[in-house]
Structure 1
Amino acid sequence: MEQNKAKLEIDLNKSTRAFINFTVEIDQFEMLLSYMRIGNSFISENISEAKERLIKLYDNSSEETDFLKIDPERFLTMNYYESHLSRMMYIRAIDNFITYFKDVLAEIVIKKPQILKSKDQERLDFILEHDTMENLLKSISEKKITELFYSGFTDIQKYFYDRLGIKMFEDEIRTAEINLLIKQRNLAVHNRGKISKEFITEFPNEDFIEGLFLSFKFDYVSKINDVLYNIINNLDAKLSIKFNLDQVSYQ
């Protein structure tokens, strides 16, 4: 996936709350990555002191931690943790992407509640739990999108197209790319990223090997965040105009 350089030209002073929440997550990822790189640099410059401090932390621990004293420097480099941390960050990135749709749907419902029109019925006690119509609509929209999440992202796409008249992605190639990203996230969550036969069958054109594990790197997650950012940015602009969504300041 190629990074869209237009990202640098986007004015984030005002946007939907859903888009801002999405963007804040990405900003925090980039700052965390910078924080770790700076910390890694400081540790490298003061490696002797860092090793002493690490060993001291486990002075009173059991023999199970004696391996620290053999090669403490191994545990003081960012590379040692990259696979584990980047996998968690990748999962968070995809969750952030999917959550945007839940958040923006709640904003759309406030402007156009008729999109929730269906044959579904709500219990009276559920309705009476809400003190305003706005809160009730938000809860109903959250229930609906949660149901869609359980069904799969394809159903979310269909719902946005059928009910909102919005096509999430510009072509089938991008749709397939997003499907792969989401399925990788599911594999990372439910199988520690271990590649299954079913996964390979679904994505035969990729270089996956059954039994091996998906490999995540910080730079890869950063690139994915850029891709997702540009998708959401373009989509949010369309939704904002079509449904006259409230714009709030980015701070």
Structure 2
Amino acid sequence: MQKEEFRGRLVSYNNFTREIRAIRRLYLITVFTYEEKANQIRQDKLDLKITNATEFYFRDELIARSPYEINSKLTERYPSIFREFLFIRVMSLLETFFYDTLYEIAQISNVPFRTNNKERTYKLAELLSIDDIMEIKQEIIGSEIRSVISQGHREINRFFDRRLNTKFSDSGLNLKRLELMYDKRNLLVHNNGIIDDTFIHKHNYLERSRRIVIQEGFLLEALDLLQKLTLYIYRSIDDQFDLVPRKIKDRKKQSGAINDDIIIEEVYKASFINSEYKEILLNDNFSFGFTGKYLFSEIKVNVIDLNDYEAQWTVRGSKKIIGEYRGFLRKAKRHEKFRYFEFMKVRTEEN
């Protein structure tokens, strides 16, 4: 895997990346150590330093009764068990990433957690004991996050898709592959790795072994794919929300740098992938937004047609709305909707 230098402002993503990097390194170093020791034992046997009956001790405890026994463990059994442990750990880290990501989003906006079909009742004593309405909001959001995570990867996928406009399939990860990872983890944790009929039919399992075996290639592939998925999620979330760390926000608030009444005017210039997309994007009725829906006509100042595929346009509006519009354009750029795209901030003023 090519070394990933990208580092984001989403704490959950940074934590996940750091842990995945450590697990990869831990696995490779451990297997390297196993193989080096196995090679040394083979060489010692050839040099007649040990015999077939040599026993091996570590800290006064017998660990193998022969060179054959210890080498078979070092080259097969122990790496296999170790991969199982690491794979379970990786899948647990993924769930932690999802939970922490939703929690971080909740600190910025509660819009994704609003539902019209759910009710919650409180006893009078509970309400009277609450000093701040924020306590109720935090409790409701926390309950919603726990509910989503506890229902498994399908519900997590559905929540990110419907509430956060983030489709896991757009990351390039085959969702069937992700489901296979979850099912293997579940069998290892809850069924001692024994493969059941449901797994066999669901994944068209044809191998002879009736117990889950985590091969090296599968483990390393899982690390790569999940890092790719979490990076995609980070970038999608970063398009939709202001992920400036809270400490920086607090400093800006204290200095008066953050003002909800700030008006921003920006100019964009782009070459569209085709004339149809250009017409759609620059139409007055085109809608955008992640935390709400806005019309292009609400922010449009002017549009200058340069040719069938190119245009330059100016928008003006509140910091929040222009930020969401810019985020939409950045996402469209990553999805290759433009041949080229550039923008410049014209001016910022208080309303």
User: Per the shorter chain, which TM-score range?
Assistant: 0.7 to 0.9
Instruction: Output aligned runs, 1:16-55, within 5 Å.
Output: 16-41=10-35, 43-44=37-38, 47=41, 54=57
Provide the residue aligned with 2:100 in structure 1.
103
Confirm whether residue 198 of structure 1 aligns to residue 216 of structure 2: no
- The verdict on how the C-alpha distance between 1:138 and 1:127 changes in structure 2, with shifts beyond 3 A counting, is farther
Counterpart in 1 of 2:84? 87
Structure with the larger strand share: 2
Residues 45-194 of structure 1 mapped to structure 2, 5 A cutoff: 47=41, 54=57, 57-58=60-61, 68-71=64-67, 73-74=70-71, 77-118=74-115, 119-121=118-120, 123=122, 125=126, 133=134, 140-170=140-170, 174-194=174-194
Q: Which amino acid aligns with 1:22?
A: F
Change (3 A) 1:115 1:187: same
- Deviation (angstroms), 1:89: 0.9
In structure 1, distance between residues paired with 2:243 and 2:59: 56
More helix by share: 1
Contact 1:83 1:215 in 2 (8 A): yes
CA contact (8 A) 1:195 1:208 kept: no
The answer (yes or no) to whether the contact 2:188–2:194 under 8 Å persists in 1 is yes
1:216 to 214, 221, 230: 214
CA distance in 2 between partners of 1:129 and 1:36 (Å): 52
Matched, 1:232 2:230: yes
Unaligned runs of 5+ in 2: 247-351
How far apart, CA to CA, are the structure 2 residues paired with 1:79 and 1:106? 41
Instruction: Report the number of matched residues.
Output: 232
TM-score by length of 1: 0.75
Greater shift in the superposed pair: 15-24 or 70-79: 70-79
In the TM superposition, what is the alpha-carbon distance from 1:141 to its structure 2 partner? 4.0
1: CA distance, partners of 2:119 / 2:25: 44
Question: What is the CA–CA distance in structure 2 between the aligned matches of 1:234 and 1:87, rounded to whole Å?
Answer: 26
Report the identity percentage: 19
Return the alpha-carbon distance in structure 1 between the equivalents of residues 176 and 107 of structure 2: 31
CA contact (8 A) 2:55 2:66 kept: no
Structure 2-normalised TM-score?
A: 0.56
Structure 2 CA distance for partners of 1:70 and 1:52, relative to 1, 3 Å? closer
Identify if the C-alpha distance between structure 1 residues 29 and 142 changes in structure 2 by more than 3 Å, giving closer, same or farther: farther
Say if 1:58 and 1:131 are closer, same or farther in 2 by CA, change over 3 A: farther
Unaligned runs of 5+ in 1: 60-64
Cα deviation for residue 122 of structure 1 reads 6.7
Any idea what the Cα deviations from partners look like across 1:162-185, whole Å, max 9, x if unmatched? 222221222898122211111111
Matched letter for residue 235 of structure 1: I
- Structure 1 residues 162 and 45, CA gap change in structure 2 (3 angstroms): closer
Contact 1:195 1:212 in 2 (8 A): yes
Give the 3 Å change call, closer, same or farther, for CA 56–144 of structure 1 in structure 2.
same
Alignment partner, residue 349 of structure 2: none
